[in-house]
């Protein structure tokens, strides 16, 4: 025997909304469409792109700096500096990058942003002195070319360690490293990777998370997805999103059978 089903209408906070009259519009759309349109409070889409043109026989992170191991800043956070390899155009009145914006987490893992005005090959220090993680590094304003003229590095003040890197001719750092901000959770819905070279490449998604425990000191990384590629592409959509709680460090690493291989990766999802 058919039984009626009770339908409740709630807002994004879960509060019950009254149904007035009989003209209630009903709209059905994918959950991530609603996130993209800003219909769900406190939810934002997130994507990361990584690229490495110099993967060799030792495992290395997928980022634009190439065959260089990534080093995380100190837990207390540090002051950083921005510098270009082009002294003519990545500076005031130049045709290249004029300013860059850094999306970072402070010593308490809170999300922050800061903007730096470039001065060519002369390093310019950031105003913040407590940068603990770098989640994004982008050109904010440019001259007539609309892109960086030189390689733009985000380093420690001494210039000995690089934390993010924008390749000449581009506007955004290709870095697979991401850290979930305090009070947030990252739900990863998909990951893609493609590799080119004469030999196979192993690409591994890793996080400082194991069985619900997040490692923030003496970082230990555990694999969450991996694939072997040989001049082909892997496009993985997770049936159930991978869940990464606050302060989790996430990265993609790669190792090849021979040197001279390159890889690009991308992962997406939402943060709430």
What domains appear along the chain, each with residue ranges and CATH number? 44-63+177-271 (2.60.120), 80-166 (no CATH)
Closest CA to 252 of 189, 162, 176, 181: 176
Question: What is the C-alpha to C-alpha distance for residues 148 and 38, in angstroms, rounded to an integer?
Answer: 31
- Residue 198: predicted pLDDT: 76
- Residue 190: predicted pLDDT: 98
Q: How confident is the model at residue 21 (pLDDT cuts 50, 70, 90)?
A: low
Q: Is the pLDDT of residue 52 over 80?
A: yes
Dump pLDDT digits (tens) for 164-215: 999 999 999 999 999 999 999 999 999 999 999 878 999 999 999 999 999 9
Percent share of the chain, pLDDT over 70: 90
């Amino acid at each position: 025997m058919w039984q009626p089903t009770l339908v409740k209408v709630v807002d994004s906070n879960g509060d019950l909304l009254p149904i007035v009259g009989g003209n209630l519009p009903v709209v059905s759309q994918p959950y991530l469409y609603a996130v993209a349109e800003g219909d769900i409070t406190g939810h934002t889409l997130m994507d990361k792109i990584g690229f490495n043109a110099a993967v060799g026989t030792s495992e290395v992170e997928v980022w634009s700096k190439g065959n260089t191991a990534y080093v995380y800043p100190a837990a207390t956070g540090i002051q950083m500096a921005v510098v270009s390899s082009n002294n003519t155009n990545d500076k005031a009145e130049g045709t290249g990058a004029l300013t860059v914006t850094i999306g970072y987490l402070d010593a308490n893992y809170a999300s922050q942003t800061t903007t730096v005005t470039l001065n060519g090959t002369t390093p310019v220090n950031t105003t913040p002195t407590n940068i603990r993680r770098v989640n994004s590094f982008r050109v904010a304003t440019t001259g007539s070319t609309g892109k960086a003229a030189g390689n733009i590095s985000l380093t420690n003040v001494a210039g000995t360690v690089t934390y993010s890197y924008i390749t000449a001719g581009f506007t955004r750092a290709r870095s697979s490293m991401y850290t979930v901000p305090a009070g947030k959770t990252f739900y990863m819905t998909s990951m893609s990777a493609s590799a080119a070279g004469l030999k196979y490449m192993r690409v591994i998604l890793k996080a400082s998370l194991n069985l619900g425990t997040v490692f923030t000191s003496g970082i230990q990384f555990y694999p969450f997805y991996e694939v072997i590629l040989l001049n082909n592409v892997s496009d993985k959509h997770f049936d159930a999103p991978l869940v990464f709680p606050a302060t989790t460090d996430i990265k993609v690493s790669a190792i090849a059978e021979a040197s001279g291989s390159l890889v690009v990766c991308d992962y997406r999802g939402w943060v709430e």
